[in-house]
Amino acid sequence: MMLPRVALGLAVLAALLLVGSGPGTRLGLWSYQLGLQLLIGAAVLGGGAAVIGLAGLVVPQLRAGGIALSGLALAVGVAVAAVPAYWVQVARSLPRIHDISTDLDNPPAFFAVVPLRGRDTNPVEHGGAAVANAQRGAYPDIGPVVLDLAPSQALARALQAAQAMGWDIVAQDAERGTLEATDTTFWFGFKDDVVVRVTPAEGGSRIDVRSLSRVGVSDVGANARRIRAFLARLRS
């Protein structure tokens, strides 16, 4: 039957779009906007393949000679469509922000990474009360950490934690008590900038972290996850 072969072909094409969407963007073969469109295309084609494959399994006129192909198309189509569908659901459940800070009253400022961000990136100035309120609602657990260490020791531990997480260290400023770095996401290769600020506090040193995406409106929770992981390393 022709229909099961069409379904499998769509499923394979959807898988190729899914697999290529991120790495192609990371390698600079196309823009991140096109990469996201390829991801959406993978979801549409995968869903279509799954529907046709399911029809090939349940409609008697279509089952003859094509059960295996229809079943494979259904499985591949569902698997491919599930990936972007999951991230769409995550994006819808979170606010459309891309700047997360442990200090919302006085967010740590960026200096050394600013020349690296380029003209068409998100501004380094914090978005103010609207962004702060959105963060508080979505990530109420994000806050500073106080370590029983002198500021110089706390900054050294922050550097170790940042290196362990694979961040590219851009600058350290002992006078400001800051560390600036860039983290590159695995799939699309998005570059997000991070600043760590260490200040004296009762009982040791207070560490604040701010993570800011260079592009995009919603970070789908990436900056909050990064800060949580970093603070967990500091505490351990």
Note the pLDDT tens digit of each residue in 209-222: 999 999 999 999 99
Delimit the domains of the chain by residue range.
2-93, 99-235
pLDDT confidence bin for 180, thresholds 50/70/90: very high
Quote the strand ranges of the chain, DSSP E: 99-101, 145-147, 168-173, 178-184, 191-201, 204-213
Fold of 99-235: Alpha-D-Glucose-1,6-Bisphosphate; Chain A, domain 4 (3.30.530)
* Chain position carrying tokens 């695995």: 186
**Tens digits of per-residue pLDDT, 116-153?**
998 899 999 999 999 999 999 999 999 999 999 999 99
Angle at 100 between CA 124 and CA 199, to 5 degrees: 85
Structural contact between residues 110 and 124, judged by C-beta atoms closer than 8 angstroms: yes
Q: What is the mean predicted confidence (pLDDT) over 84-108? A: 96
